[in-house]
Amino acid sequence: MFSPILTSLGSLAAFVQYSNAASAIPWAAPGEGPTTQTANYTGFSNSTLNDQNVVPGASFSRFIQIWFENTNFAVASSTPAFQKLAAQGVTFSRYMAVTHPSEPNYVASLSGSHWGMGDDNFYHIPRNISTVIDLLEEKGISWATYQENMPSTGYYGYNWASVNYNDPTQAPYDYYQRKHNPPIIHDSVVFYPERSHRIRSFNDFANDIVNGTLPQWMFITPNMVNDAHDTTIDFAGKFTDYWLNPLLEDERFNNEETLILVTFDENETYDIQNQIFSVAVGGSIPDELKGTSDNTFYTHYSTLSTVQANWDLRTLGRQDANKTVSNVFSWVANEVGYQNQDIADEDIPQFNLTKVHDGPLNSLRYTPFYAPDVSMQGASGCGVFVSPELDLTFTADEVPPAVNLTAQGSQSPWILPQNTTTLPVY
């Protein structure tokens, strides 16, 4: 299962070819460092979280995800900055994103489904659809998302342009995009002020870490240049040197009970399997696993099942409970006694497909939201969490055939205009 990391000549060639593609955007650090607020982000933080209680987990007591963008596995794994991370942790050699493009992958990581989504529209998912936030809060586990260049706590808009700190001679730059912020897309999170307050900016992060109140579960999104979306993997590597590497040495962020997943939303090449570079680092990684590769088959749904297994949480009853696509990180599975599935390469679903899945967020193959199978069990062996607002009688068996709303001159009712800035009315 685990093996030393080797860089192939093919991977090296892919890296050289990719790194020769010059970025028009020059690298510049947005501030002095990750623990210092900066005027290059809109608005200074004037409030902090007050998360002092720690709920211990079987393998870790803090889980942090940091997502980068649109990069093939061979390219990322051959980049020095990401090789440096790999030497400190476990590289997942068979980790897959679940579809294309970006937004459905982010959504899937929070609510256990991409709901048929095949684009980056301004979606909102109704209030009666549960997410991992419900599971965490049920056990008293604190959480937050930190979004670089988001202008204010719980900001609902489609994007945000701020001062171009990379090139001050240019116009303000759209550094923040809603599509990379999964909690803001789910009404069950953003509708409630006590939750939307936890959708925070990088200035808020600096305030929270200095205050010693970072939460136990974090989803962190760099801005559109630092995540490699509008730039290159080398550019993203400079961001890890500036932001992540110092934090790996800071016990307020990374201690012996911390697990950090550095991953990508999707690969760049749509006509191949959607394999992405993902590496687990942090103080909770066993020493004997550092610098190794794990060939277990994982997906973004594994982040849900791993958290559920670690903290004995309920499941959402969606793809997070589908044993084929939700293997638990192997050393965590061993610690809790969970049996992962041994999935051969030929049995891995085609995750490079898009716009072909029925669902409420697919205007080409629209079906309504429905209740999960409440008899399912997740990686913890616990049952399904469902919103009290959800109609449990409307199940998969009740869903009518998919409808092509686009052909009817319509679209999914869960798409909002791009100029929307306020919550939908319930």
Predicted confidence (pLDDT) per residue in 344-399, tens digit: 999 999 999 999 999 999 999 999 999 999 999 999 999 999 999 999 999 999 99
Whole-number Å distance between alpha carbons of 138 and 3: 37
- pLDDT given at position 23: 52
Compute the mean pLDDT over every residue in the chain, rounded to the nearest whole number: 95
CATH number of 58-408, picked from 2.60.120, 3.40.190, 3.40.30, 3.40.720: 3.40.720
pLDDT digits (tens, 9 = 90+) for 316-357: 999 999 999 999 999 999 999 999 999 999 999 999 999 999
- pLDDT given at position 17: 37
The sign of the CA dihedral 339, 345, 349, 351 is positive
pLDDT digits (tens, 9 = 90+) for 284-319: 999 999 999 999 999 999 999 999 999 999 999 999
- pLDDT band at residue 1 under the 50/70/90 scheme: low
pLDDT digits (tens, 9 = 90+) for 128-180: 999 999 999 999 999 999 999 999 999 999 999 999 999 999 999 999 999 99
Contact 279, 262 (CB under 8 A): yes
pLDDT digits (tens, 9 = 90+) for 34-68: 999 999 999 999 999 999 899 999 999 999 999 99
Instruction: List the domain boundaries for the chain.
Output: 58-408
What is the percent of the chain where pLDDT is above 90? 93
Whole-number Å distance between alpha carbons of 286 and 420: 46
**What pTM, to 2 d.p., does this model score?**
0.94
- pLDDT given at position 426: 82
Q: Indicate if the pLDDT at residue 22 is higher than 60.
A: no
- pLDDT given at position 4: 54
> Which of the residues are catalytic?
230
What is the 3-class SS of the chain, one letter each residue? CEEECCCCHHHHHHHHHHHCCCCCCCCCCCCCCCCCCCCCCCCCCCCCCCCCCCCCCCCCCEEEEEEECCCCHHHHHCCHHHHHHHHHCEEEEEEECCCCCHHHHHHHHHHCCCCCCCCCCCECECCCCCCHHHHHHHCCCCEEEEECCCCCCCCCCCEEEECCCCCCCCCCEEEEEHHHCHHHHEHHHHCCHHHHCCEEEHHHHHHHHHHCCCCCEEEEECCCCCCCCCCCHHHHHHHHHHHHHHHHCCCCCCCCCEEEEEEECCCCCCCCCCECCEEEECCCCCHHHCCEEEEEEEECHHHHHHHHHHHCCCECCCHHHCCCCCCCCHHHHHHHCCCCCCCCHHHCCCCCCCCCCCECCCCCCECCCCCCCCCCCCCCCCCECCCCCCCCCCCHHHCCCCECCHHHCCCCCCECCCCCCCCCCC
- pLDDT given at position 2: 62
State the average pLDDT over residues 6-16: 39
- pLDDT given at position 425: 87
Whole-number Å distance between alpha carbons of 300 and 250: 27
- pLDDT given at position 328: 99
pLDDT digits (tens, 9 = 90+) for 107-133: 999 999 999 999 999 999 999 999 999
State the average pLDDT over residues 15-28: 60
Residues linked to residue 66 through DSSP beta bridges, in sequence order: 220, 262
